[in-house]
Structure 1
Amino acid sequence: MTRFTETLLAIFTVTAIYSSLFVGVIPTPKTFHDEVLPVLPFWALVAFGAYALGTLGWGVFTFIDKEDKYKELLEEIKEAKTFSKKNGVDVE
Structure 2
Amino acid sequence: MTKATETLLALSAVGAVYFALLAKVIPSPQLFHQEILPYLPLWAVVSLGSYSLAVLGYRVFSFKDKPEKYKELLVQIDEAREFYKSKGIDLDE
Q: What's the TM-score bracket when you normalise by the shorter of the two chains?
A: over 0.9
2:49 is the alignment partner of 1:49: yes
* 1:62 counterpart residue number: 62
How far apart in 2 are the matches of 1:91 and 1:32? 56
Unaligned runs of 5+ residues in structure 1 are: none
The one-letter amino acid paired with 1:62 is S
1:27 is paired with a residue of what secondary structure? coil
* 2:18 counterpart residue number: 18
Instruction: Tell me the percent identity.
Output: 53
2:70 is the alignment partner of 1:78: no
- Once the two structures are TM-superposed, the CA of residue 66 in structure 1 deviates from its matched residue by 0.6
The one-letter amino acid paired with 1:60 is V
* Greater displacement, 21-30 / 37-46: 21-30
Aligned length: 92
- Once the two structures are TM-superposed, the CA of residue 11 in structure 1 deviates from its matched residue by 1.2
- Once the two structures are TM-superposed, the CA of residue 4 in structure 1 deviates from its matched residue by 2.0
Unaligned runs of 5+ residues in structure 2 are: none
Q: CA RMSD in A?
A: 0.7
Please report the TM-score for the alignment, with normalisation by the length of structure 1: 0.96
Higher relative contact order (Cα pairs below 8 Å, separated by 6+ residues): 1
Per-residue CA deviations over 1:7-29 (Å, capped at 9, x if unaligned) read 21111101100000111011111
How far apart in 2 are the matches of 1:4 and 1:69? 26
